[in-house]
């Protein structure tokens, strides 16, 4: 076996079993991550004020922008490239370092101007402190990309959990001792240090001296397309927060930011980690259309089966969920959360489009999909701004529905995934989610009055309704069968044998 394959490619063996193990490990880690994130939301929301979160949310868009620029799509290039050489990894590492240091210095220099834009002098020092995180992320970017390329899912799962737990622990202790927005910075810094240090330790790769290589233009060209999407996506994800912070101040932005993060929590806990599993796997199936399409269909079906009923439930139960999670002083976020919930319902449907674009090397189309999202966000924010944060939330949900068919038509322009396939796979699940939402809403008077038991009952009802609704279609029955096979494959061998040997009528 070559040195290159030994260093950067996953172990030889069944790709399907590797993906299956990766998905299972990732799912288990995400259960822990979900618990940690919920604990973070509940704990910190009770220790800190809406204004504290609003001040950090003012800084978040610029930090997210620079984080995307420092990546420059080079992490995706490392994961996707079919034949990766050691010198290419070294070149990409030093490009990341150079960009990260430059952006860190730029952010420190422009911090007073950002504070002037918001008319909030307190965030000057906060932005300068957050610049450190930009530099640290650049140090570990290529090491993390190599772990994803090798499909080292167990190591990645442990690292993610350690980072999340460290961030929560430091932020909570800081907030108890000295409650202020600085507690949120402290948690972010601690989590970043743990992530970067662990990625470097586990990657088994160390950089050499910087030098230019042959073929560097191709690597940067692919990265440029990814960066174009990231910039468009940044605009889509942050324009609302910038405008709310500018027009309505820190308290309104605090309500919006907490509602936004909570409604995104279920999807982020599954979609983002699953993308880290699927993109490397699909990249190795790019020349096998049937396998690519089959894997894509199974993964998206299982993801929507897991997510859509839960999101439908929390939309209906927002007025119960928000006070239970955050406390009674956060009821101003209820209407915002409800409106954003409809966008969150469609985002798991649209998220897998990125898997198709990146794994097929279609960074140009990926960029175009970002422009489509940015255009919809702009219209939504401008149209909703006169009606406050709730108006913007409604506009974003409408834009997400309008974008969905256009996005999948773009996916279907080339490659093994066609628009008609998407309608057949996802259409019945999306309709079933709306049906489950309607039935939970009708059943609300019959649910327990206790907040916890009422939420639990509503969630169970949503899934109990969703399953028979999707079973009405052939694709829905296929998704349920795939879920059954996945569960059966993870049962202990003794249980599988007992089931196989049981007498039949």
Does residue 373 share a domain with residue 319? yes
Domain boundary residue, one of 214, 236, 257: 214
Residue 503 is assigned to a structural domain of this protein: no
pLDDT in tens, 58-102: 888 788 777 766 665 656 666 655 566 677 777 778 887 888 888
For residues 397 and 477, membership in a common domain is answered with: yes
Q: Is the dihedral of CA 115, 118, 121, 127 positive or negative?
A: negative
User: Does 170 share its domain with 255?
Assistant: no
Tell me what pLDDT residue 119 has.
84
pLDDT reading at 218 higher than 90: no
For 16, other C-beta atoms within 10 Å of its C-beta total 14
Looking at the structure, do residues 328 and 428 belong to the same domain, yes or no? yes
- Domain final position from 197, 214, 231: 214
Report angle CA 205, 211, 213 to the nearest 5 degrees. Answer: 95
Q: Is 63 within the bounds of a domain?
A: yes
Radius of gyration of the chain (CA): 23
Backbone angles phi, psi at 48, to 5 degrees: -120, 165
Same domain? For 322 and 194 the reply is no
Q: Are residues 189 and 264 in the same domain?
A: no
Same domain, 477 and 376: yes
Measured between alpha carbons, how far is 441 from 478 in angstroms, rounded to an integer?
28
241 in a domain, yes or no? no
Does residue 336 form part of some domain? Answer: yes
- Cβ proximity of 309 and 463 under 8 Å: yes
pLDDT of the residue at 13: 52
CA 396 to chain CA centroid, nearest Å: 17
For residue 163, being part of any structural domain is answered with yes
Identify the domain containing residue 100 by its residue range.
9-214
Q: In the listed set 193, 214, 235, which residue is the last one of a domain according to the structure?
A: 214
Residue 150's pLDDT is 74
Whole-angstrom distance, CA of residue 81 vs CA of residue 83: 6
Quick one: pLDDT at residue 246? 79
Asked if 41 and 261 touch (Cβ cutoff 8 Å), the reply is: yes
- Kindly state whether residues 200 and 266 are assigned to the same domain: no
Task: Find the range with the poorest average confidence among 148-152, 193-197, 362-366.
Answer: 148-152
Q: How far is CA 245 from CA 57, 79, 184, 189, in A?
A: 8, 36, 18, 24
pLDDT tens per residue across span 478-487? 999 988 887 7
- Based on the domain organization, do 307 and 187 belong to the same domain? no
Q: Are residues 378 and 430 both part of a single domain? A: yes
Compute the distance between CA of residue 44 and CA of residue 163 in angstroms, rounded to an integer. Answer: 17
Same domain, 198 and 314: no
Same domain, 196 and 294: no
Q: Could you tell me how many residues make up the chain? A: 505
- The count of structural domains within the chain is 2
Q: Report yes or no on 310 lying in a domain.
A: yes
Helix, strand, coil shares, percent, the chain, to 5? 85, 0, 15
Distance CA(157)–CA(32), nearest Å, equals 10
Confirm whether 228 is domain-assigned. Answer: no
Asked if the structure places residue 92 within a domain, the reply is yes
Q: What is the pLDDT of residues 387-438, one digit of tens each?
A: 988 999 999 999 999 999 999 999 998 889 999 989 988 999 999 999 999 9
Specify the pLDDT at position 383: 92
pTM above 0.75? no
Distance CA(464)–CA(432), nearest Å, equals: 11
Q: How far is Cα of residue 138 from the mean position of the Cα atoms in its chain?
A: 20
């Amino acid at each position: 076996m070559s040195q290159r394959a030994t260093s950067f490619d996953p172990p030889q063996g069944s790709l399907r079993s590797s993906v299956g193990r990766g998905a299972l490990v990732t799912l288990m880690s995400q259960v822990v991550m979900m618990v940690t994130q919920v604990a973070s939301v509940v704990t910190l929301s009770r220790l800190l004020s809406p204004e504290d979160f609003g001040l950090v949310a003012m800084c978040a868009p610029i930090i997210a922008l620079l984080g995307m620029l420092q990546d420059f799509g080079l992490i995706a290039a490392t994961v996707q490239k079919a034949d990766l050489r050691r010198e290419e990894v070294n070149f990409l590492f030093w490009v990341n370092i150079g960009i990260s240091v430059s952006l860190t210095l730029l952010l420190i220099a422009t911090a007073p101007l950002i504070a002037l834009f918001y008319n909030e002098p307190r965030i000057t020092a906060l932005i300068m402190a957050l610049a450190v995180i930009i530099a640290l992320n650049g140090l570990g970017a290529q090491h993390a990309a190599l772990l994803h390329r090798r499909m080292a899912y167990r190591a990645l799962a442990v690292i993610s959990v350690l980072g999340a737990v460290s961030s929560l622990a430091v932020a909570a202790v800081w907030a108890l001792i000295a409650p202020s927005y600085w507690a949120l910075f402290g948690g972010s810094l601690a989590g970043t240090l743990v992530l970067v240090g662990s990625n470097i330790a586990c990657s088994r790769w160390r950089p050499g001296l910087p030098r230019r290589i042959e073929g560097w233009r191709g690597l940067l060209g692919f990265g440029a397309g990814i960066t174009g999407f990231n910039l468009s996506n940044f605009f889509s994800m942050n324009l609302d927060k910038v405008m709310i912070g500018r027009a309505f101040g820190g308290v309104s932005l605090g309500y919006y930011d907490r509602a936004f993060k909570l409604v995104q929590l279920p999807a982020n806990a599954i979609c983002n980690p699953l993308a880290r599993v699927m993109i490397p796997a699909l990249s190795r199936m790019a020349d096998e259309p049937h396998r690519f399409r089959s894997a894509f269909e199974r993964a998206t079906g299982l993801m929507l089966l897991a997510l859509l009923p839960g999101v439908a439930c929390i939309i209906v139960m927002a007025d119960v969920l928000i006070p239970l999670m955050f406390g009674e002083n956060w009821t101003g976020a209820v209407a915002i959360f409800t409106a954003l919930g409809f966008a969150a319902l469609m985002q798991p449907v649209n998220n897998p489009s990125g898997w198709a674009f990146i794994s097929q090397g279609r960074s140009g189309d990926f960029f175009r999909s970002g422009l489509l999202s940015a255009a919809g966000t702009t219209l939504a924010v401008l149209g909703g701004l006169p009606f406050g944060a709730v108006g913007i939330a409604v506009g974003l949900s409408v834009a997400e529905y309008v974008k969905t068919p256009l996005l999948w038509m773009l996916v279907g322009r080339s490659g093994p995934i066609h628009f008609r396939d998407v309608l057949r796979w996802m259409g019945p699940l999306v309709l079933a989610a709306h049906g489950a939402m309607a039935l939970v809403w009708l059943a609300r008077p019959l649910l327990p009055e206790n907040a916890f038991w009422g939420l639990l009952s509503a969630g169970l009802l949503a899934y109990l309704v969703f399953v028979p609704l999707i079973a009405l279609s052939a694709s829905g029955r296929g998704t349920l069968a795939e879920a059954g096979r996945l569960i059966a494959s993870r049962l202990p061998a003794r249980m599988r044998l007992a089931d196989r040997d049981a007498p039949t009528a």
